[in-house]
Amino acid sequence: DLCVSEGSLVWHLNLDCVVISDDGSLLDCVAMACRCCLRDATIPGHEVLEQQEVGPSGPEVRVEEDPNLHRTLSCGRVPTYVSVGVLEQGQWVFDLSAAEELRCRSVMHFGVDPSGSIRSACTSNANTCVSHSSGTMADVVEAACLAGRALLEQVDASNAPEGERRVVHLGK
């Protein structure tokens, strides 16, 4: 979506996030905020002129000045994060508050894309190794995938035109 001229020009976006208050699940919140910003961003219409005559700074590009002639970005591959904490008793907690994060012996973060696939996984406790049975871990991964997919469906449905909106229930 950001490619202007194949192999030579792309749009460069910077996205700065300012956190005013952290009451837990910060990575989840920032990832969703970034995804929503990208989803709402527009790129000006443009036309590549004289593709064959490429100068030192790339091909000449005419950028449309009319703000109504723009296109939106596709966020179909942009993941969101689902954080899961494990308490001392071995219980798993989703959507952690700051107090719950402090009580967890480990917190795992799963980057989940709209298809429900995990794109990345990390832990915020670098010096902590938590062992779990493969069945328990598989359940957590499956729950994180389902939660991430349902969350992205809900957010994407809320941005659809009025006639295309649908309600997605979070849960099995």
Can you give the pTM of this predicted structure?
0.70
**How far is residue 85 CA from its own chain's centroid?**
20
Rounded to whole angstroms, how far apart are CA atoms 126 and 116? 26
* Residue partners of 126: CB distance under 8 A and separation at least 6: none
pLDDT > 70? residue 130: no
Beta carbons of 124 and 109 less than 8 angstroms apart: yes
Tokens at 39, concatenated? 């989803």
Tens-place pLDDT, residues 42-61: 877 777 776 666 566 666 77
- Distance separating alpha carbons of residues 123 and 105, to the nearest angstrom: 11
Indicate if the pLDDT at residue 167 is higher than 60: no
Of 79, 87, 76, residue with least CA distance to 30: 79
Q: How confident is the model at residue 171 (pLDDT cuts 50, 70, 90)?
A: very low
Average pLDDT, the chain: 77
List phi, psi (to 5°) of 23. Answer: -115, 30
